[in-house]
Amino acid sequence: MTTLLMITILVLVSIAVWQITKIFQVAQLNSKVDDSQIANEKDNDWNGKLMFAFLVFIYLITIYSFWEWGDVLLPEAASEHGVKVSPSKQLDKVISPACPKGVCPRS
C-alpha cells in the first residue's frame, strides 16, 4: 500500500511540474527573449570587467588583512632555530604570490 501511495505522489508531482513548465512557456510567447547561449562582445566585456573588479577586491581584502591582523598571522618563534627561519617565512609570504610556480627559487 505504501508503494502505491509513493507512486501516486510521484506521478502527481511530475504532472504538476509538467503543467508549471507549460504555463511558463505560454507566458513567454509574447516576450522577445534572447535564448542564445553564445557569448557576444558585450558579454565578454562585462565579464572581463567583473573579473577584474573581483581581482581588485580580493587584493584589497588581502592587503587590509595583512595590515590589520599581521601580528597574529604568524606566532612568535618557539625555538632558537625558529628565530632565524621566521623572517624567511615572512619574505616567502610576500614573494610567493608574485612568482609563478617553478620560476622563482625557493629558500
Is residue 49's pLDDT more than 90? yes
Is residue 106's pLDDT more than 60? no
Name the average pLDDT for the chain: 80
If pLDDT is split at 50, 70 and 90, which confidence band does 54 have?
Answer: very high
- Give CA–CA dist 64/75, Å, rounded: 19
Range 44-60 average pLDDT: 94
Burial 65-101 (b: 16+ CB within 10 A, else e): eeeeeeeeeeeeeeeeeeeeeeeeeeeeeeeeeeeee
Report whether 74 contacts 89 (CB < 8 A).
yes
pTM for this predicted structure: 0.41
